[in-house]
Structure 1
Amino acid sequence: MITKVCAFYQFAALPDYRELREPLRALCAGLALKGSVLLAEEGINGTIAGAPEAIDTFAHELAHGALFGGRLNNLELKFSTAAAMPFGRLKVRLKKEIVTLGDAAADPTRQVGTYVDAREWNALIAAPDTLLLDTRNAFEVAMGTFEGAVDPEIKSFGQFKEFAAQKLDPAKHRRIAMFCTGGIRCEKASAHLLARGFAEVYHLKGGILKYLEVVPEAQSRWRGDCFVFDERVALGHGLQEVGLQEIGLQEIRLRERDEDAARDE
Structure 2
Amino acid sequence: MQSSHSYVNIAAYKFVTFEDTEQKRPEFLAICKQLQLKGTILLTPEGINLFLAGLREQIDQFLLWLRADQRFSDLQVKESYSEKQPFTRMLVKLKAEIITMKHPLIKPELGRAPAVEAKTLKRWLDQGHDDNGRPVVMLDTRNAFEVNVGTFKDTIDYRIEKFSEFPAVVAEHKEALADKTVVTFCTGGIRCEKAAIHMQNVGFDSVYQLEGGILKYFEECGGAHYDGDCFVFDYRTALNPQLQETATAQCYACRAVVTPREQLSPQYVAGKSCPHCASENSSGTTGAATAAH
- TM-score norm. by structure 2 comes to 0.78
Larger mean Cα displacement after TM superposition, 233-242 or 196-205: 233-242
- What code does the residue aligned with 1:77 have? V
Matched, 1:225 2:197: no
Q: In the TM superposition, what are the counterparts of 1:1-265 in structure 2 within 5 Å?
A: 1-2=4-5, 3-63=7-67, 65=68, 69-104=69-104, 106-126=106-126, 127-128=128-129, 129-169=135-175, 172-217=178-223, 220-247=224-251, 250-251=254-255
- Highest Rg: 1 or 2? 2
Cα separation, 2, equivalents of 1:172 and 1:190? 15
**How far is 1:205 from its partner?**
0.8
| Alignment RMSD | 2.3
Deviations 1:40-62 (A, max 9, x none): 11110121112122222222322
* SS of aligned partner of 1:238: coil
CA contact (8 A) 1:113 1:201 kept: yes
**How far is 1:216 from its partner?**
3.6
Deviations 1:90-114 (A, max 9, x none): 2110011011111116432223221
CA 1:125/1:135 → structure 2, altered by over 3 Å: closer, same or farther?
farther
Cα separation, 2, equivalents of 1:147 and 1:170? 18
- What code does the residue aligned with 1:90 have? M
Cα separation, 2, equivalents of 1:249 and 1:149? 30
What are structure 2's unaligned runs of at least 5 residues?
Answer: 130-134, 257-270, 272-291
CA contact (8 A) 1:13 1:42 kept: yes
* SS of aligned partner of 2:112: coil
Cα separation, 1, equivalents of 2:60 and 2:150? 30
CA 1:166/1:221 → structure 2, altered by over 3 Å: closer, same or farther?
same
Cα separation, 1, equivalents of 2:227 and 2:138? 14
**How far is 1:170 from its partner?**
8.1
The structure that is helix-richer by fraction is: 1
CA 1:211/1:83 → structure 2, altered by over 3 Å: closer, same or farther?
farther
* SS of aligned partner of 2:65: helix
**How far is 1:10 from its partner?**
0.4
State the identity %: 38
CA 1:176/1:59 → structure 2, altered by over 3 Å: closer, same or farther?
same
* SS of aligned partner of 1:47: strand
- What code does the residue aligned with 2:50 have? G
Cα separation, 2, equivalents of 1:108 and 1:167? 24
CA 1:44/1:105 → structure 2, altered by over 3 Å: closer, same or farther?
closer
